[in-house]
Structure 1
Amino acid sequence: MSDLPDRPEPTSGHGRSRWPLILVLLAPAVILPLWVSLYDREEPTLGSWPFFFWFQMALIVVAVGLTLTAYRLAQAADRDSRVRHGLTPDPPPDDAGADRLDGEAGR
């Protein structure tokens, strides 16, 4: 017999299936600003703002929303993975770093 604790059997990898979705959510925040020919024009204007400016401002808002959604999905995937491996859903707090602030680490 083994001395290892009983761990639940891995399931179908539900947490892994979220990572492609996370990458798809993060892609527009990286690709759209690099695609300069998409927004390199003045028309249509929004008030007195040319398209170049208001599109980038709108892109910031969209990128924040997509990044926040991807972050929440990554947290849930990490939590599910920890539970699947028999760990607590949330990692323990790192209190060890608090006493290293005085430069006495490793002594």
Structure 2
Amino acid sequence: METNPRDMPTRGPARPAPYVVSGVLLGLGIIIPLLVPMYASIEPRLGGMPFFYWYQMLLVPIEAGVIGICYWVVTREDQRRRDVLKRDMPGKAPAATNDDGGEGR
């Protein structure tokens, strides 16, 4: 019996921990800026700028870093899932790769 290529899985089983960690970090990145009473003050000033403003501007690069970490964690998990499937598929030839390490067509 021949199997349809569309029925074959493209990834192995997922571990929930990377997705939970990413979800919590992204959730905190949404919730913390919404807690305005926590940082709604004038003091301490930074270069004459009230705390309310410089705190929000400080959050922008911090959140960019958090989003980058979440992307790295989820991408790494996705690659692990793909590698598990490649390792567990006996008789399947490995995909051709380009000079830059990407998969060929």
TM-score range normalised by the length of the shorter chain? 0.5 to 0.7
> What is aligned with 1:20?
20
> What is aligned with 2:45?
45
Count of matched residue pairs: 86
Identity of aligned residues (%): 27
* TM-score between both structures, scaled by the size of structure 2: 0.65
Q: Which has the higher helix share?
A: 2
* TM-score between both structures, scaled by the size of structure 1: 0.64
Contact 1:18 1:77 in 2 (8 A): yes
Question: 1:3: Cα distance to partner?
Answer: 5.7
Q: How large is the Cα RMSD of the aligned pairs? A: 3.0
Amino acid at match of 1:28: L
Amino acid at match of 1:65: G
Matches within 5 A, 1:14-93: 15-86=15-86
**1:44-96 deviations in whole A, cap 9, x for unaligned?**
111200001100011111101111011001100111112223387xx968x9x
- C-alpha distance in 2, partners of 1:28/1:56? 14
- C-alpha distance in 1, partners of 2:44/2:28? 21
- C-alpha distance in 2, partners of 1:92/1:30? 36
SS in 2 for 1:42: coil
